[in-house]
Copies of this chain bind each other. A is one copy, B any other.
Amino acid sequence: MNEFELIARLTHSLPSGKSVVVGAGDDCAVLDVGLPDRLLLFKTDAVVEGIHFRAADPPEQIGHKALARCLSDIAAMAGAPDAAVITLALPRSFEPGAIERLYDGMSALARRHEVSIVGGETTTNPGGMLISVAVLGHVPRGKAVLRSGAEAGDAIWVTGNLGGSLFSGKHLDFEPRLAEARWLARHFGIHAMIDVSDGLAGDLRHVLKASRVGAELLAASIPISRAAREASRARLHGSAARPVPADGPVKSPLQAALTDGEDFELLFTAAARDAVPLLDAWKKEFPGTPLTCIGKITAGEGIHLRDREGIRPLTAHGYEHFS
């Protein structure tokens, strides 16, 4: 049983009241608490030593990542974050100075995005450090972008370049795409959105499943990061400055861009007719950030990849925590 199967099994019959607009299964829960102009967003996430970060990583970056992952989920709904609560589970022996640096990294990110940190619990976790974050945010009523809105014919877009995030360290210092997501939802009809945490293919599958559609990707259009190319080379030549996980498969740069996790870019779909104005406006608003159309939504099922040799189903999954 992998992570996604377990979650599906656990969450199929959770208690749910009438204030729940969207429950478990999207990037955030959406709650209607009676505010006339907006809905609340609610999300939790955790990072674990040895899995999402290494004990030797800079504490500021560990704290940054713990909060940034949750903010990226708020971004994926086109929302704005308001408040966060933190649980720090620490090994029996720890360095108070390192914990302060961790909170410094988290606080700096919180200030940039006007997030109040309103609770900080600590407990002991004998196996190593674990940081759990819960974030409360909001989205204008009617403006939450779900995973379930993709329509056949939509163009599929992704921000940034993909792959090699663990290799380059991007997974520790990425800036959640909150401003970009809100701008997109304000100016264009974004049909579906998710953040790329499990890998492009894996996260696109979540959108396709929720929307009951398929996708055709153009291999030549996938924006492959320099880190994905370097990681691939390093793995082949054994010269990585930072080690590629020893048990990881040797991936081509394209495979890395399709299946590496933790890029935290936005993956979204919009009507094909919006493609040209969307790209033009984006380039003016966010000139430093790539935005790429990587394919289209189809009436079919699953992901197909088109390259010079033709079209074939994409079977590679994204990263799964329990695979």
Contacts and interface: CB of A to CB of B under 8 A. Distances in A.
B127 A322 contact: no
Contacts of A128: 126-127
A48 B89 contact: yes
B29 A118 contact: yes
A45 B87 contact: yes
Interface string A33-67: 11100001011111010111000000000000000
A19 to B, nearest CB: 6
A33 B117 CA distance: 15
Given A35-B33, A134-B134, A136-B136, A15 B89 contact: no
Contacts of A83: 17, 19-20, 29, 31, 42
A322 B91 CA distance: 10
A130 interface: yes
B46 A89 contact: yes
A115 interface: yes
Contact of A15 (B17, B31, B43, B111): B111
Interface string A248-260: 0000000000000
A121 B23 contact: no
Contacts of A35: 33-35
Nearest to A8: B120
Interface string A98-118: 011001000100110011111
Nearest to A86: B44
B321 A124 contact: yes
A46 B87 contact: yes
A6 to B, nearest CB: 6
Interface string A72-95: 000000000011011111000000
Contacts of A103: 10, 14
B44 A82 contact: no
Contact of A31 (B123, B134, B136): B136
Contacts of A88: 10
A132 interface: yes
A16 B116 contact: yes
Given A35-B33, A87-B46, A138-B33, A118 B82 contact: no
B119 A29 contact: yes
Contacts of A87: 44-46, 132
A7 interface: yes
A3 interface: yes
A6 B122 CA distance: 8
A126 B103 CA distance: 23
B7 A121 contact: yes
B85 A125 contact: no
B15 A116 contact: yes
A31 B107 contact: no
Given A1-B96, A136-B136, 12 more contacts: A11-B120, A14-B107, A15-B107, A19-B83, A19-B116, A23-B119, A33-B35, A40-B136, A42-B85, A44-B132, A89-B132, A134-B134
